[in-house]
């Protein structure tokens, strides 16, 4: 594995650890700041605010990474994340927490720029495997981050934010000192009209072959938002978990996800094709969610984690399938568009899921997972129909590879 790839993976792992640190303690922090009995709506608002800022800025940062290079945009995002965690570490009021999340949303270009970076330095036939490794190291960060955040949060509620700020500062230094640029910046002048966040979406929607991929990303991103919004609340309400046990559950998921993403995306796409891997991943996630919805003891959640983690095998395949739909010089812009679509789903979904959780919290907290199963069940035929053309392109691509 080449040095730039190792560095970008290390950057993503540290970033994931910084994000995961705050998950176990965010409900308690909001309860302390707001003095409210039900804080699920506040979690939804904070998550949606982050996503709204990301929706506005991610396509712009993707375009800037095409014009200015991946490295400077990545450095800006890492510096902004460090500032965000410092603000949140000492925020005595809700508006300051919201400001911190807004800053994080503005600068959250890490994953989309990292994906474009890997696309720059990877041949087509290795992209699915490398995207799988990218998700694996992200999961590796989640092994350490939530567990450490739970331990630190039980000691002092603000300590995980300080640790996250230190991690992101170290992440910034690592990228600044040793990460090379992956592509020569374009010498074209940036026009203000190109910085309109809706412009890349208009470009994407004008490309008919991209629409199915964009729809699939939107659906899967919307259902994926429920975990960050409701996991800690559900663990506390259903099993009485404290910060440590919430962190351990997220860390266990990180272990399983790392193993799955490191070992299975390549074989899965070879055996079932990229579209088949996406469908199998959704099916595994639905099975795990059904078990979690009816679980009455916490150990069941840990037992079902391997199947739950299998739900991620289709994500690298979907990413690889998407990159083949766009020419090389537009990869950064396209990754920014996908990040924008993910953010749009992330604006709507947290508000919806947090409101739904508020309704079911007293009677049946696990019902929140059934709602995800229902959405995925409705989405399955859309995935089949929406990726049909991409699937044909995939077969043609494989035939060319065999012929070569």
Reading the block at residue 276, the tokens are 């088949």
For residue 290, give the nearest of 375, 366, 360 by alpha carbon. 366
More confident residue, 278 or 245: 245
C-beta of residue 47 within 8 angstroms of C-beta of residue 229: yes
Rounded distance, CA 396 to CA 404, Å? 12
This prediction's pTM: 0.68
> What mean pLDDT do residues 84-104 have?
85
More confident residue, 18 or 268: 268
> What mean pLDDT do residues 177-193 have?
72
Task: Indicate whether 118 pLDDT > 70.
Answer: yes
Helix (H), strand (E) at residue 8? helix 3-22
DSSP 255-287: HHHHHHHHHSHHHHHHHHHHHHHHHHHHHHHHH
Rounded distance, CA 154 to CA 25, Å? 8
Residue found under tokens 């709602």 = 371
Reading the block at residue 175, the tokens are 């990228």
- For residue 297, what pLDDT is reported? 92
Rounded distance, CA 108 to CA 404, Å? 40
Residue found under tokens 């290390």 = 10
Rounded distance, CA 107 to CA 77, Å? 4
C-beta of residue 47 within 8 angstroms of C-beta of residue 23: no
> What mean pLDDT do residues 169-195 have?
75
- For residue 404, what pLDDT is reported? 41
Reading the block at residue 293, the tokens are 């919805």
Reading the block at residue 67, the tokens are 């014009």
Between the alpha carbon of residue 326 and those of residues 133, 209, 319, 344, 359, the distances in Å are 22, 10, 12, 21, 43
Residue 326 is given by DSSP the state S
- How does the average pLDDT of the chain come out, rounded? 79
Task: Indicate whether 46 pLDDT > 80.
Answer: yes
Residue 184 is given by DSSP the state P
């Amino acid at each position: 594995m080449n040095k730039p790839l190792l560095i970008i993976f290390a950057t993503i792992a540290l970033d994931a650890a910084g994000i995961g640190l705050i998950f176990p303690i965010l409900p308690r922090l909001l309860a302390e700041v707001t003095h409210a009995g039900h804080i699920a709506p506040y979690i939804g608002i904070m998550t949606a605010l982050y996503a709204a800022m990301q929706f506005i800025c991610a396509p712009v940062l993707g375009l800037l990474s095409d014009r200015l290079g991946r490295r400077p945009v990545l450095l800006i995002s890492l510096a902004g994340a460090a500032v965000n965690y410092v603000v949140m570490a000492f925020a005595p009021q809700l508006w300051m927490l919201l400001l911190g999340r807004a800053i994080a949303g503005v600068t959250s270009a890490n994953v989309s720029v990292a994906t474009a970076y890997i696309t720059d330095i990877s041949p087509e036939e290795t992209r699915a495997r490398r995207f799988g490794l990218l998700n694996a190291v992200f999961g590796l960060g989640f092994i350490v981050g939530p567990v450490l955040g739970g331990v630190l949060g039980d000691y002092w509620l603000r300590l995980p934010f300080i640790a996250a700020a230190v991690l992101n500062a170290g992440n910034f230094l690592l990228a600044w000192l040793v990460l090379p640029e992956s592509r020569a910046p374009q010498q074209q002048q940036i026009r203000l009209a190109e910085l309109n966040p809706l412009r890349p979406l208009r470009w994407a929607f004008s490309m008919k072959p991209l629409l199915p991929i964009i729809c699939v990303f939107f659906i899967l991103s919307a259902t994926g938002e429920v975990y960050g919004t409701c996991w800690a609340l559900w663990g506390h309400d259903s099993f009485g978990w404290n910060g440590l046990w919430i962190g351990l559950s997220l860390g266990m998921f990180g272990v399983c996800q790392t193993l799955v993403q490191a070992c299975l995306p390549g074989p899965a796409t070879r055996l079932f094709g990229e579209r088949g891997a996406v469908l199998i991943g959704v099916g595994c996630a639905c099975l795990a969610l059904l078990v979690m919805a009816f679980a009455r003891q916490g150990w069941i959640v840990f037992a079902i984690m391997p199947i739950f983690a299998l739900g991620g095998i289709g994500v690298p395949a979907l990413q690889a399938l998407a990159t083949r739909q766009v020419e090389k010089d537009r990869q950064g812009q396209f990754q920014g568009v996908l990040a924008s679509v993910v953010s749009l789903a992330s604006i709507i979904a947290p508000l919806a899921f947090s409101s739904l959780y508020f309704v079911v919290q007293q009677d049946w907290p696990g019902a929140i997972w059934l709602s995800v199963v229902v959405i995925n069940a409705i989405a399955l035929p859309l995935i089949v129909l929406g990726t049909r053309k991409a699937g044909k392109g995939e077969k043609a691509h494989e035939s060319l590879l065999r012929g070569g």
